[in-house]
């Protein structure tokens, strides 16, 4: 059994401790907001917060997350009221939308640490991949969210 704190809720899961956190979140706990993209921690579709840091959940064994605070998009704001989620809608960021959950999780971590980031700071922190190429709108949404402190 692995003990997890996911979105503020203590849970026990009966999985191999080497199972990627992504699959435990999606398949065991039913939190399907976190997406599978590449499986090698490159694309960022699976980004969640682990003790406040944006991490790629496909590359972290669930055993390494035991005793740490995990936040998924469902825990960022269940009703979509987080300033990043609102900015994403206002700036009409998504096209296909697949990568956007990971983008929002990365942006939320960035804004927590850097409340008013420059374009260079955004580019350095947001390394997620968007196949639709919505990077200009992503940057605009991050600036919009920052203005709504």
CATH number of 83-147: 1.10.150.120
DSSP H or E stretch at residue 135: helix 135-147
Residue 149 has pLDDT above 90, yes or no: no
Q: Output the pLDDT for position 78.
A: 86
What average pLDDT does the segment 94-107 reach? 94
Phi, psi for residue 124 in degrees, rounded to 5 = -70, -40
State pLDDT tens for residues 62-85. Answer: 999 999 999 999 999 989 999 999
Q: Where are the domains of the chain?
A: 2-75, 83-147
Q: In terms of CATH, what superfamily is 2-75?
A: Beta-grasp domain (3.10.20.30)
Q: How confident is the model at residue 35 (pLDDT cuts 50, 70, 90)?
A: very high
- As a whole number of angstroms, the distance between CA 126 and CA 104 comes to 10
Residue 56: CB atoms within 10 A of its CB come to 26
Q: What is the residue-averaged pLDDT of the chain?
A: 96
pTM: 0.95
């Amino acid at each position: 059994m692995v003990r997890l704190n996911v979105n503020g809720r203590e849970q026990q899961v009966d999985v191999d401790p080497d199972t990627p956190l992504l699959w435990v979140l999606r398949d065991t706990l039913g939190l399907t907001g976190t997406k599978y993209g590449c499986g090698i921690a490159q694309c960022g579709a699976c980004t969640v917060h682990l003790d406040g840091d944006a991490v790629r959940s496909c590359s972290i064994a669930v055993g390494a997350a035991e005793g740490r605070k995990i936040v998924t998009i469902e825990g960022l704001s269940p009703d979509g009221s987080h300033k990043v989620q609102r900015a994403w809608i206002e700036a009409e960021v998504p096209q296909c939308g697949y990568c956007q959950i990971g983008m929002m999780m990365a942006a939320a971590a960035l804004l927590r640490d850097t409340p008013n980031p420059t374009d260079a700071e955004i580019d350095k922190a947001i390394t997620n991949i968007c196949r639709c190429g919505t990077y200009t709108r992503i940057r605009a949404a991050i600036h919009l969210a920052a203005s709504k402190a």
